[in-house]
Structure formats: C-alpha cells, structure tokens
Amino acid sequence: MSAAAETHHDLGAFGGDRFGQIAERVARFFGTPQYIVGQTIIVILWIAMNTTALLNLVHFDKYPYILLNLAFSTQAAYAAPLILLAQTRQADRDKVFSDRVDARHTRHERAVKDETDKLYQLLQSNTELTTQDKALTEEVAKLTRAIHELLSKQSG
C-alpha cells in the first residue's frame, strides 16, 4: 500500500475506533457550507417564529432567545472537542506519512551517496591508472632514446 493511500486510514492516538471515526465525520461536517447554510436557516426561522405572530405559533423562546443561546452553547461544548479530536487524528496521520516520506528520502540519499562514493572510487582508480600510464610512457620514451643513442654509437 502506498504512503498516500495510508493517509486515508485511521492511525494515531485514537486508532481506528468507531467513536473517533464518527467524531471526525461530525467535526468535518461542521465546516461544510451545507451545515453553515442549514444552521443559518434554522436560526432565521427560530427568531422569526419567536418574534412575530407568524402562523399564530406559540412563542416558546422569546427575546433574548435564551433557549437558542443554550442550544448554541451546547453545540459549542461538543463541537470544540470533536474538532480538536479530528485535528489530533489528522496530525497523527500526517506525522506517520511524514515519517515514511523522510525514511524514503533517507534511503534515496544513502543510495545516491553509495553511488557517488563508487563513482569517486572509479575516478580515483582512473586517475591512478592515468598517472601510471604517464610514468610508463615516459619510461618507454627514455628507453627508446637510450636505444637510439646505442644504435647511433654502433653505426657511427
């Protein structure tokens, strides 16, 4: 399984437990446009029903809307920990993913270093062979001159 695919699994401090998964879904839902729009519509209807004689309904939560405030407080009391839970779980998954990426980069760096070291050794061997070749070429040239001198003395 690829590291990217593993980020979709529930890892970390809260594991893959059902509560954690549901809590994450709920926390993610709190941040959606559908939730914001839905909540806005409910608040508008709530205020409208409790401030006007709309449809001759009983005003069950008159201004200053204490029941509405209680509902928001209760929602916030649950939403904040759920959001923190979701963030913690995501941070744990991100850490696992990051550690795997770091490990892969470390392996690649080691492989590149090993190959670079091999190339450096080959370059040093090549340099040594070139130095030996130059020395041998100079020795052959010296011997060739000596042979020519001997042959010139014998002919002359």
Segment 62-94, tens digit of pLDDT? 888 899 999 999 999 988 888 888 888 889 899
Q: Is 81 exposed, middle or buried (0-12, 13-18, 19+ CB in 10 A)?
A: exposed
Mean pLDDT of 55-61: 72
Tokens of 65: 């809307």
Closest CA to 102 of 7, 5, 14, 3: 3
What pLDDT, on a 0 to 100 scale, did the predictor assign at position 56?
Answer: 67
Host domain of residue 90:
3-155
**Cβ(3)–Cβ(56) below 8 Å:** no
The DSSP letter of residue 58 is: -
Total domains, the chain:
1
10: left (phi over 0), alpha (psi -120 to 50) or beta: beta
Mean pLDDT of 18-31: 86
pLDDT band at 40 (very low <50, low <70, confident <90, very high): very high
The pTM (predicted TM-score) of the whole model is 0.54
